[in-house]
A and B are shown apart, each in its own frame.
Chain A
């Protein structure tokens, strides 16, 4: 098992390096350096020369790359082009916790609603519960978050006026850096965005759980457990669920990626000051260090998440370890 873990970690390193290099090359390759304009006026060449020397933009490329990586390892992502008094670190520092809250809640929603729904539908197959659950799941999977978001806003915030239209209700400072204070204001603001982000995921998890559980129920060892006289729900929870959840773990990797890209959309729609929204606006404003910094963080996060998922999967299903 540990050999597998080491192998997977070693496999992730070249990926991380390649990603960093791609990100760095992009930043240097995009025309229009940081210091050629302020507003509409261009700077005099001597000033540009001094600034470039200060930021080491005239050094050979390999040296720039190693400097960049060194800075990265020290947590320095460089200045922001659009917010000229802030560094990328500042922006990421304020926005990352918000995105993390949103993403974590959406993930929790997906798992805590999706899995029980799938289990219920599998237990009561072809009953009315099953049909309703399957129907909702199909609709949930088909409606993308960019449709779901405005739809939710229109129905629940504009027409019914149950929830606020936008913004995030978390108040700083956060506990431990990212846990928000559990005020009612926070929860009321959180309902619509988290639903928009997590509904689709919980629908696909429900479908997947139901399908895999239906297969597991027909296995012989379940029949043995029943024959031994175990109560039905015990059979489910103790025996069927463990194996039935394996496919769910396999899609956890793509699910992280989906949550990530989902935050771009949901934060833009709901005006939540998270990393996704800054990412989208920085694309429009051509703030390359910010774009690149956020991209790098997302990339690293995804690589690590995939690594975790692979390891969990190998732990759950011993057959994978010996590939």
Chain B
């Protein structure tokens, strides 16, 4: 008797029942690089929210006498060509980057996942039609469209006095430091990938028994989609989105660099790099801080995304 129980205990080791999310989180915790990146990102978000309290100077306080000041006691990271403190501007710059990441990722996830869920679940002609639209949009070089949009809205804003819908957009844009269109543009760029991934996942889960069981029990269609399909679809989507966030941040920096991004004096790392590059020969310290901030942020999101992908990969379950 005792030996039989002992034998069973060896053959079937007890395992605490955990949800897949908890197991994935445990796996993620083992990945020190990903954890460090996650902590860094949280710190970034905190400094974006509390920038007012952390930054030593306001981001637009121009003190022309301190033109290109070197890093020292007064300005910890130096001052730019208008005497504004670089450290403070970098801290305020996290606002722009984090907002871009959050807004773009959310828009992309919401639009993409919904689209993919509907298209995959209903199949047939609806699916065909929706995928045609996706194919068309996929061929369109979205960055070009983004640039066109930005050119148009900036031209309108300069002219002033636009009424109606465009006027509403322009005013909202001004309230956000010139960022609204950048946000919309980013969301527009990536939702297609999200929709495709979701649709693929839905197609593979649609025929599984638990969906059929739910249908037989009388679950309504929305309930099946949201309660049963969605949780299974979320995993790869979140991984993909986390890995896309560096792209959003870099695109925003790029747009600001060429002058199509935020309006000065709102600080964005891209605009700071552009300003710093102009004084590169004589004052190289100006470009240092925003560059480091940008690089480390991109690295952090990359590592976190890789870690998430490894954690959520079903093949690596113990």
Contact = CB atoms under 8 A, between A and B. Distances in A.
Contacts of A284: 259
Interface in A188-203: none
Nearest to B297: A142
Nearest to B274: A146
B247 to A, nearest CB: 9
B152 A302 contact: no
A265 B294 CA distance: 16
Interface string A131-169: 000000010011110110111011000100000010000
A315 B151 CA distance: 39
Interface string B131-171: 00001100111011101100110011001000000000000
Nearest to B155: A30
Given A144-B250, A261-B254, A15 B136 contact: yes
Contacts of A138: 299, 302
Contact of B258 (A12, A143, A265, A303): A265
B65 interface: no
A150 B280 contact: yes
A31 interface: yes
Nearest to B296: A142
Contacts of A292: 148
A176 B287 CA distance: 40
Interface string B267-278: 000100110110
Contacts of A18: 136, 140
Interface stretch (A21-29, A77-85, A227-235): A21-29
Contacts of A146: 253-254, 257, 270, 273-274, 277
Contacts of A283: 151, 258-260
Contact of B259 (A165, A280, A299): A280
Contact of B280 (A15, A153, A279, A286): A153
B298 interface: yes
A99 interface: no
A30 B139 contact: no
B4 interface: no
Identify whether the interface residues of A are mostly helix, strand, loop, or mixed: helix
A251 interface: no
Interface string B296-311: 1011001000000000
A306 interface: yes
**Interface range, B side:** 35 or more
Given A143-B295, A265-B254, A31 B143 contact: no
A291 to B, nearest CB: 6
Interface in B241-292: 246, 250, 253-254, 257-260, 270, 273-274, 276-277, 280-281, 284, 287, 291
Contacts of A306: 139
A154 B148 contact: no
Interface in A11-42: 11-12, 14-15, 18-19, 22-23, 26, 29-32
A147 B273 contact: yes
Nearest to A283: B259
Contacts of A154: 280, 284
Interface string A263-286: 011001100000000011001101
A15 B139 contact: yes
A42 to B, nearest CB: 15
Contacts of B144: 19, 295, 298-299, 302
Given A158-B281, A264-B254, A303-B141, A26 B152 contact: yes
A212 B216 CA distance: 42
Contact of B298 (A23, A31, A144): A144
A32 B287 contact: no
27 contacts: A11-B135, A15-B139, A19-B141, A19-B144, A22-B148, A23-B148, A26-B148, A26-B151, A30-B151, A30-B155, A31-B155, A142-B246, A143-B295, A144-B253, A150-B291, A153-B280, A158-B284, A261-B143, A268-B257, A269-B277, A283-B151, A283-B258, A288-B151, A291-B151, A302-B144, A303-B141, A307-B139
**What are the 3 closest A-B residue pairs judged by CB atoms, nearest first?**
A302-B141, A15-B139, A147-B291
Given A11-B135, A26-B152, 9 more contacts: A19-B141, A32-B155, A150-B284, A153-B280, A158-B280, A268-B257, A284-B259, A295-B144, A295-B147
